[in-house]
Structure 1
Amino acid sequence: MSYFRLLLIGCFSILTISAAQAQGKLTGVVRDSATNEPLSFASVFLANTTLGVTTTEQGTFVFPKVPAGTYDVVGSYVGYRLAKQSVTMTKEPQEVTLKLGATGNQLGEVVVKPAANKPEEYDKFSKLFVGGSTFSAQCRISNPDDVLVLYDDSTKELTAHAKEFVQIDNEALGYRLKYYGLQFSFNDEDRSVFYYGQPVFEELKPKDDRQRKLWAANRLTAYKGSFMHFLRSVYTDRLKQEGFYTQQIRVFDNPRYVRAEERRKALTAAKPNGPYTAAEQDSLDQWDSLAPVLATLNQEPLPIDSIRRVSPGGKRTFLRFNGELQVAYFGEAPDPQYKRPMSPLGYPKTPFPVGPRQVSRLKLQGREAQFQANGTLLNPLDVFNGEYWGFEKIGEFLPVDYVPGSLPPTAGSSK
């Protein structure tokens, strides 16, 4: 199967109280890396959040209240490369210095503009990046001319990047997303999608109270059953209460496929140019239909200790499991645009909740993956998402400071 990789609710009050109790002040300055001069009116934001500010004339900035966690602090300024620095926030104040390097052309340098995107290649990128869900249909890339999309015939890979950022207006959730430093790739052969960058969210202003409430409802829909929701539930040991069930997937080589490959090689060696008899061609067709690997699903849901490891003292928490996981979320129907069969591996025989469900699949890149209380991976490349989570893209993308049940700004209010 293909995987999607990133860079993704009975405890609302717990999450809200925790965020309110563990907040710290972040200050800093943005400077030119060559001259060390401060950069006035530069943009500074915490990646994957709604938290963004502009520097003063002295190049300084302040985030008065930042929820506990580890963030990438990103600085952006016209004519300069992005600069970022990781910071771990607690109750204690933190201070950072961002040094940006200029990207200006040297005297006499000839600027070669990239060729215009091929419409079919850009459309493919847009659908893969934004997604094909109901919410994705309400998203629009507002600066398509700033995106360069290329297809490499030799590697069968579609790539995309932007000079500064890709801007997506999400009218379903009420966010404007600026995706800085986009690195996107899609491989035609294994159907894998990968993208990475430093996005920041801006709240759109609702035109009236009805739209404000609709955005709040849509955000909650996007959150329920999401990978962020799952990680938060694992962190607090509330998987069952939140409607999640995790099961072990065992993946193994298909012995019939191995035998078929041996017979295929023997037949094609004996008849390298054919022709094949009807019986031989029928055998070749049957061998082509065999999958190289098979997967089975263990029936019993896994206990929390089989998917989570907490370090001594409880300071760090990891996803840790063998093989792959099937994660079923009960209580919300899948998006009507999701056309694939839900859970090709079937369902457990043990009693599960009755009702709609969303089924996803997880695979670790290494032995374990560290994650935080806000539902984010410390390294977004540590986990592969498949099936339903692989289907959800930018249309369902929420900032990590999202709190379930919170409302967008009132109509006409300033950010």
Structure 2
Amino acid sequence: MNILNGNEAFAALMAGKNIMCRAAGGLIEFDDLDQFPATVFAMPDYEFCIKIDEISINGYTFLKPYSLEELSAGQDIFLLGNTGTIVKGQFIPEYEELVLAVKNGSVQRDFDNAQNQAKAMQSLLGITNDLVLKVVDFHEFMKPAAKSKKTTRKKSIDPQIENVKSVVNADKNVQEAITEPTPKTRPAFNVDEVAEIETDPTSIIEKFAAQIASCKNTEAVLSLRPVFFANGHLEREHTQHLCKLTEDKLIELDPEQYSPKVINADHQIYIDGINACNSEEEINTTLYDLNDQGFSEEQISEINLAKVCKLAEFQANALKNIEEKQYNKLLAELLERAEKASSPAEANALYKYTTQWSEEQRKPLINAIHKRLAELSPDTATRTEPPSLMVQIQTAPDLTTLDALEIDVASRHPDIQPKLMGFVRARRYELENSGSKVVP
């Protein structure tokens, strides 16, 4: 299981993944994200993971099998073999049969899920064999044989390798054969009708379409869905087409239950309502009857996206409020120190705390410092205009004052900054060579 930080988890959530959360370093299990506040992504001491989807067939529930992207060399895997056999070993990317098994959905994460998946597949075929776990070291089986001529290589192959390959190949046949289920009640077709395994998507779709059309009850229609979803030769658009056929057939067989509900409200109303909310609680109140409105999957997705974006906005505002509180607290402290400064150097030294502030943020403190400087040096208060920055730099009494003035240079027009910095360097040279020291 890959552990994600807050940024990675939020990115995965925006990509449509199901995210789970728990306290970092704890022994508790991961829980659904709706059990935590919306700002959990910005909170420390929490860790996240992507929730693995579950599949249920004929009462058996198991995790979605491994995909190639999840596997790395040497990782433990459980291979669903034929004749009720589950083979445990390590994944070898170079082993084509293993890669094919992963693509066919025949490689599980642990024995329990492998066992449930195998039992589910067997239940579709009416098989009741006991499952056996065999521990196999694929690395031992895949050791290269001694070099020999191509014509004699077949004879030198370790028979154990052939056994592993036969397990994988036989498993592939089992996986393809289950495209024809046998529902317990009034089945729409029989396994015996399958003359050969189809791999062409067009042929598979035609066969499933015929089976759907021949169903006499809703149970038979529903039993077909997990079968064509498990077929490794169909793309997403193919399964969507078959789902549409099953929906039409369900409406035909039981229109009262399966006819789409009339949409009583425009889904945009819900999106506008979410955008007007000021808290996560208000969002939950706005969406309390969402599932009763008969919205399409696409409309539900748009509403959920609006919810995610609004929760992200709450999170950003929370961070902004924290930064603003920190700024206001520091500003109040600096204003008090400026008011009580006992010397010009002490007042000017306060500039160093504002290096990360904007000019607008720094302005209240600058005004307070200038006011205190006028109080400490009454002769400057009688002037109609304060001395220019250039004059202040040239007459800076010490290095601390000069440092404060250098910060002020950055707020001036870019065209005059180089000239002012020249005066700063010249005055610094004068002060350093005259033995002046920085006033603490």
Q: Under TM normalisation by the shorter chain, which class is it?
A: under 0.3
TM-score when normalising by structure 2: 0.19
Which of 1 and 2 has greater Rg? 2
Higher relative contact order (CA 8 A, sep 6+): 1
- The structure in which a higher percent of residues are helix is 2
TM-score when normalising by structure 1: 0.20
